[in-house]
Amino acid sequence: MKNIFKTFISLILIVSFTYSCVESDNVIDEVLDYETGAVLRTLEIVNNTLNSSLPDSEWKVRLEEQDELDGDLFAAVQLHVSLRDLTPDNGTTVAEGLVKTIPASAFTDGPHGLPRGEVSSTFAEAEAAMGLSPGETSPGDIYVFETKLELTDGRVFGASSAAGIITGGFFSSPFSYNALVVCSPEPGEYAVRMIDNYGDGWQGSVIRVNIDGVDHDLSIPSYWDCTSGCGIVGDPQWSDVMTSIVIPVGSELATFEYVAGSYPGEVEFEIWAPDGTSFGYFGPAPAPGLLPVLQCTTD
């Protein structure tokens, strides 16, 4: 496995020689751009949220560096951050900032002899890198982290230079990651209205509320799983259900996430904060992923 990258490059060189006289738009031509390059392969996204109520909350990924000399060209990883402002009411605009530079010496050899290590940033570090003051970002905003790979020969690779062939699949080297800004939640009862516009319940879709690491799934049961007292398709029990979830006092972190199942085009929902403020109407066919749903504690 250690030589998988080198073997891959060798195959590229053979293909390059064979077809060097022919112009092509094939996917392999994207790979040829990297015949002497390097990648940072994503092994794990350890945490993809940042809690604005806790300056030490940490975004973190585990990476593996690969180059044509099995890591011998690896010099350092630069970590940059920028803001995607999804709460425009506060009007925050900032430039990209350098959070830190991690030397190759901070990485250790993995099971395939290639350098592996963690790259991370606290909320406070990211905020300082962009020159932001407390309150200039809000829950629902996105911090975009970009890793840039420095080689000993002076070359630098990042998101702007990544050919599409290496951003997914085995290489999984996007160089760029989104971190959702959240906050410590206002305790209380969050009301949730769930709708299935066909009227037979949600077929695997859930609203997943994670409170301090514990998942709580909310959904409309599937009509097709019912064995008694089922009524008919279109009954309110299968089409329009009100429920709630209580976030206890003292909770440090809570996230709301929509996980799509079968027939996601039938799914709609609305969520309210303890004071009755609506976070908006989602659907039909809401986008899967973390939801900009949370009211920050005022304590």
**CA–CA separation, 20 and 37 (whole Å):** 19
- 247 and 211 in contact (C-beta within 8 Å)? yes
Q: Please give the CATH topology (third level) of the domain spanning 37-182.
A: Immunoglobulin-like (2.60.40)
CA atoms within 13 A on the CB side of 153: 11
How does the average pLDDT of the chain come out, rounded?
Answer: 84
Residue 199 tokens, joined = 């009227």
pLDDT of residue 177: 95
Say what the pTM is.
Answer: 0.64
Among the listed ranges 72-81, 115-124, 253-262, which one has the minimum average pLDDT value? Answer: 253-262
What SS3 class is residue 27? helix
CA end-to-end span of the chain, whole Å? 52
CA–CA gap between residue 272 and residue 256 (Å, rounded): 12
Residue 22, pLDDT above cutoff 60: no
CATH number of 188-291: 2.60.60
Q: Is 172 a residue whose pLDDT tops 80?
A: no
**pLDDT over 60 (residue 200):** yes
Position with higher pLDDT, 136 vs 192: 192
- Domains in the chain: boundaries: 37-182, 188-291
Instruction: Please identify which residue in the block is written with the tokens 């092994």.
Output: 43
Candidate from 15-19, 264-268, 288-292 with smallest mean pLDDT: 15-19
Distance, CA of 259 to CA of 283 (rounded, Å): 13
Residue 291 is predicted with a pLDDT of: 86
